[in-house]
Amino acid sequence: KNQVEQSPQSLIILEGKNCTLQCNYTVSPFSNLRWYKQDTGRGPVSLTIMTFSENTKSNGRYTATLDADTKQSSLHITASQLSDSASYICVVRGTGSARQLTFGSGTQLTVLP
Amino acid sequence: DTEVTQTPKHLVMGMTNKKSLKCEQHMGHRAMYWYKQKAKKPPELMFVYSYEKLSINESVPSRFSPECPNSSLLNLHLHALQPEDSALYLCASRLGGADNEQFFGPGTRLTVL
């Protein structure tokens, strides 16, 4: 069964600190992995997309990594801001019979002043 | 226009009502999706309308019915809903191709009394 597991479930950090969110998946065959940011009551917004051959990708203060061999990804947030408070969802797309998106349960990040 | 719009933003309805949720995009995307998202849970795929073909998640009850009047619009008709159907309903669209991003709308917050 295709699954995406995220950790931690929730995280509280102080403004200005860095943090790293984890995503492990079993989706196979693998096509790509996206990290989405979802503000409360809003739709998810894509931060990064990683394909099989990519190890690292940055988008401003967000840096995603992918290890396709171990089926693990991480999202690192640098110098956190209050506006980073949101749910971060890891979404994996497979190919063939696994081509639909498989969503993780998300990590709820709270940044405190 | 690079966004997916959804109306209404909020909807409160009784169990005997009939209502519709509307989703619109003008990005020329050929695939549109409806998701249901409960609090602190990932979105669950309900329907996919891709290249004029409808795919249904078999677990979705028949009180939800999608309608695609044209390639820019995807409606979700609601009838005889239950209180457990209260959730955030997200619409998304995608250009096509495995690596293309799904763009999500802001969602409709539905409450069934």
pLDDT value at residue B50: 87
Q: Distance (Å) from the C-alpha of residue A54 to the closest C-alpha of chain B? A: 13
Q: Quick check: B113 pLDDT over 90? A: yes
Q: Which residues of A touch B109 (CB under 8 A)?
A: 41
Confidence band of B2 (pLDDT split at 50, 70, 90): low
> Is A34 at the interface with chain B, CB within 8 A?
yes
Q: Distance (Å) from the C-alpha of residue B18 to the closest C-alpha of chain A? A: 23
Q: Quick check: B100 pLDDT over 90? A: no
Q: Which of these, B57, B55, B52, B67, lies nearest to B20 by C-alpha position?
A: B67
pLDDT value at residue A98: 66
pLDDT value at residue B98: 58
Q: Distance (Å) from the C-alpha of residue B69 to the closest C-alpha of chain A? A: 23
Confidence band of B1 (pLDDT split at 50, 70, 90): low
Nearest to A41 among B48, B104, B109 (CB): B109
The model's pLDDT over B69-99, given as tens digits with 9 standing for 90+, comes to 988 999 999 999 999 999 999 999 998 765 6
> Is A99 at the interface with chain B, CB within 8 A?
yes
> Is A93 at the interface with chain B, CB within 8 A?
yes
Q: Which amino acid type is present at position B113?
A: L
A50-65 burial, b if ≥16 CB within 10 A, otherwise e?
beeeeeebeeeebbbb
Q: Do A32 and B98 touch (CB under 8 A)?
A: yes
Residue B56: CB atoms within 10 A of its CB come to 14
**Six-digit token string for A28:** 């196979």
Angle at CA of residue A19, ends A14 and A21, nearest 5°: 135
**Alpha carbons A11 and A25: distance in angstroms, whole number:** 20
**Six-digit token string for A107:** 């990590």
Q: What average pLDDT values come out for chain A (113 residues) when binned by 10 residues?
A: 92 97 94 93 91 92 96 97 97 82 94 96
Q: Which residues of A touch B4 (CB under 8 A)?
A: 43
